[in-house]
Amino acid sequence: MSKIDVACIIDDDPIFIFGAKRMMELSNFCKSFMVFKNGQEAINQLKPIMLNGKDIPDIILLDINMPIMDGWEFLDEFIKIEAHKSITIYIVSSSIDPVDLNRAKRYKNISNYIIKPISIETLKGILEEELQE
């Protein structure tokens, strides 16, 4: 099975980041990944990458509850950036609040809402979806 070129994790929880990276490695999910600890850091780093058109992530795993700039604020800024390719966004959150689930449905670039913790099976499902497109 092929793998994704670049995956991006935007999350402030170092334990989740460690676990997600480890599961990506074990499931042969992607060739490389980038990690950002909040939405502001992600926007600051991703905007020039997207405008330049090189090393753009194929998917983003986005937490919604973060300091400085949360996932919703990130999305509002992210959708303003013109991308050279389509980027699939997955909300990965511990929130089971129906308000968050419904809010996620309002963003057309969110592919799915995944409740933490993320599993190897979930990553394999994402990989299959991505490679079919």
pLDDT of residue 2: 64
Q: What pTM was computed for the model?
A: 0.93
User: Tens digits of per-residue pLDDT, 38-73?
Assistant: 999 999 999 998 888 888 899 999 999 999 999 999
Tokens 């973060």 identify what position?
Answer: 66
What domains lie within the chain, and their CATH numbers? 4-132 (3.40.50.2300)
Q: Chunked in runs of 10, what are the mean pLDDT values of the chain (133 residues)?
A: 85 95 91 95 94 88 95 95 86 93 92 92 88 73
What residues have CB less than 8 Å from 18, skipping those under 6 apart? none
Residue 82: the pLDDT is: 83
